[in-house]
Structure 1
Amino acid sequence: MKRRRLLGGLVAAGAAALLPGCTEEEVPRPPLPLSAGEDGGVYWPLGRALSVTLRTRWRSDPLVTSGSADNQERLRDGRARLAFSTVDVADEAQSGRGPFDAKYPLRALAGLYSDYVHLVVRAESQMKDLDGLAGRPVSTGAPGSGTEIVATRMLAAAGITLRGFERHRLDLHDSIAALRAGVVDAFFFSGGLPTPAIAKFVTDGDSPVRLLDLGQYLDTMRSQYGEVYASGWIPTNAYGLSSVTTVSIPNILAVPHTIGAESAYQLTRLLFVAKPRLARAHPEGRQLDPRSAIDTYPVPLHPGAERYYREQKRA
């Protein structure tokens, strides 16, 4: 009798150990693929760092992607449940414009930091503005990237159509290699400061480069596309190059509108738990702040994220 009671107790204890809340390692964790971005950009180190913290509740792995437009497509078809995106691309996705053939309602968990449009040319180049790109080989970014969208818009603002130059659709690493080899005369990239691959390219020093000033195109772009674009500045201390004005674009962390309020709340909470890790991964991680994170225009905040920010305000 005592033996049966002992065995029964052991069975009950074993069953209890399988119940949620016993230990975090034993709780089944649902998948949460995170669309990050190109290896060499800023999304990638931040995505890797964030995934480490998210693994306390989800099986989260960062995905190498082409960038914002690719990330939106992955949210749409379910390959991702969380994604970095610039707000201009997110606006196109939720409106069903540009590369997106149907509206897809999104929600934001937080505003993060801003991207800055880079136009990199060789140091000895005589180009001074976008007019100098006419007829030349230029990389406008990889298909599916936010870079490609903003570069195309900026060229149009300067009156240069896609037929007005030799277009190459290369990712960041291939753009750098093509500029180094003389295959292209310039390349665009939209990223935070400093963008790791560009910083390394400058530091290598084998192909001296400079940045073109792009600030003069902001007003035209804002008149056509609204407040998704803002004034930006790439200072000398970003890369050790002469400072330039440019166009900046806010970034958000986006989710499908179908994600539940509790999951969105926990994702937002863990994003801020991860801030020290994000800051170690890249300087832009330091920009995360609950006071500015609520600004995700034109993508609405998820109600679960709103709950988190209300609690922080009361704390």
Structure 2
Amino acid sequence: MIALSKHIAFALLLALSIPATAETYTIGTGNQSGTYYPLGGMLAKLWSENIPDFDMRAEVTSASVENIVKVASGRELAGISMGNVMEQAIEGTKPFPRKMDVAVLFALYPNLVQFIVPANSDINSIEDLKGKRVSLGAPGSGTRISAINILSILGIDKNDMDSQALNYSATTRALANGQIDAGVIVGSLGVGAITELSLTRNVRILSFSAAELAKISTANPAYYTYSAPAGIYNDVGAFMVPAVWNVLLVNKNLDNKLAYEMTKVTFEHIDELRKAISVTQSTTVDNMDELAGVSLHPGAQKYFDEHKIQQ
């Protein structure tokens, strides 16, 4: 037993004496058919190539809620989330059991609340979803939280329909196969899952009425009205929907210098990011603090303030 203890002690001493290699981190993203995953992968690549002793990879997750919980608990260094879910995390409201120790590095791009139906469907309004088979998004996803919250604001309960909990890929497959009547994807304009579906099936995106949009933004100012032109998806007409900013989040106790470097590297290499991920045209220094009521991490705030001084 004494000999074994000596071996353990020696192994620990040896481990402590080995020079440290690059730290390996993860960034929480989302489903592989959404925008979060390729965006997270590109950010990881930029940081790994331009921050000394730093190595990051993108992790497939159920998106916003899971990313926030993992970042707050130190299991991920960074994550991507919808702004409204980030607000709930900071406030400690459902689905979070308490206030989460997270902060924003910078706003990314707007997410649109897109309810998809077959083109020949008799569903022509949000009210028509009652009694239908509707996928509201995967458990723990920002899509599901947003869909349920928005429907609730409009006086529609998830129990008013045959609600299902499917992720992006499963939602579009179920729509294509006639297994559901409607599905919601809260994602970027031109998100891959809907783009691919529209190439093989005739679909529509439901428009919200002006009264519905006003009611939503009044109840939750994180949402604003987005008017999408026709032709974004194959043979899909123009539509008006609620939108909310996505944000890049980190633990609020993340080292200020590292937070500053992650922000600085992103914007110094923003052209590379935009070539790979088109929605990041909206990712600008001026838009960093676009999510109202949520403070930037001090490291990111330093970079933002420096930019403002230079203008």
Q: Flag whether TM exceeds 0.5 (same fold).
A: yes
Match of 1:48 in 2: 41
In the alignment, is residue 272 of structure 1 matched against residue 257 of structure 2?
no
Please give the alpha-carbon distance, in whole angstroms, between the structure 1 residues aligned to 2:209 and 2:168.
22
SS of structure 2 residue aligned to 1:236:
coil
Match of 1:254 in 2: 249
- Larger deviation, residues 177-186 vs 103-112: 103-112
Please give the alpha-carbon distance, in whole angstroms, between the structure 2 residues aligned to 1:141 and 1:262.
37
The Cα offsets for residues 108-165 of structure 1, whole Å up to 9 and x where unpaired, read as 1111110011000001101111121111110000011111011101222332212111
Match of 1:243 in 2: 238
In the alignment, is residue 293 of structure 1 matched against residue 288 of structure 2?
yes
CA drift of 1:215 comes to 4.5
Q: What amino acid is aligned across from residue 100 of structure 1 in structure 2? A: F
CA drift of 1:32 comes to 2.3
Alignment RMSD, CA only?
Answer: 1.6
Please give the alpha-carbon distance, in whole angstroms, between the structure 1 residues aligned to 2:271 and 2:228.
24
Q: What amino acid is aligned across from residue 230 of structure 1 in structure 2? A: Y
Please give the alpha-carbon distance, in whole angstroms, between the structure 2 residues aligned to 1:297 and 1:254.
15
Match of 1:210 in 2: 204
Match of 1:198 in 2: 194
Q: What amino acid is aligned across from residue 206 of structure 2 in structure 1? A: L
Please give the alpha-carbon distance, in whole angstroms, between the structure 2 residues aligned to 1:235 and 1:74.
37
SS of structure 1 residue aligned to 2:245:
strand
- Larger deviation, residues 59-68 vs 210-219: 210-219
Please give the alpha-carbon distance, in whole angstroms, between the structure 2 residues aligned to 1:277 and 1:308.
20
Please give the alpha-carbon distance, in whole angstroms, between the structure 2 residues aligned to 1:115 and 1:212.
15
Match of 1:29 in 2: 22
User: TM (normalized to structure 2)?
Assistant: 0.88
SS of structure 2 residue aligned to 1:33:
strand
In the alignment, is residue 306 of structure 1 matched against residue 298 of structure 2?
no
Q: Is the 8 A contact 2:154 2:216 kept in 1?
A: no
- Larger deviation, residues 304-313 vs 261-270: 304-313
Please give the alpha-carbon distance, in whole angstroms, between the structure 1 residues aligned to 2:65 and 2:177.
28
SS of structure 2 residue aligned to 1:178:
helix
Equivalence map 1:1-315=2 (5 Å): 28-56=21-49, 57=51, 58-203=54-199, 205=200, 207-216=201-210, 217-225=212-220, 227-240=221-234, 241-315=236-310
Alignment length (residue pairs): 287
**Sequence identity percentage:** 28
Q: Is the 8 A contact 1:82 1:254 kept in 2?
A: yes
SS of structure 2 residue aligned to 1:238:
coil
Match of 1:10 in 2: none
SS of structure 1 residue aligned to 2:183:
strand
- Larger deviation, residues 30-39 vs 81-90: 30-39
Q: Is the 8 A contact 2:274 2:281 kept in 1?
A: yes
CA drift of 1:228 comes to 0.8
SS of structure 1 residue aligned to 2:231:
helix
CA drift of 1:27 comes to 7.8
Q: Is the 8 A contact 2:137 2:184 kept in 1?
A: yes
CA drift of 1:213 comes to 0.3
SS of structure 1 residue aligned to 2:134:
strand
SS of structure 2 residue aligned to 1:32:
strand
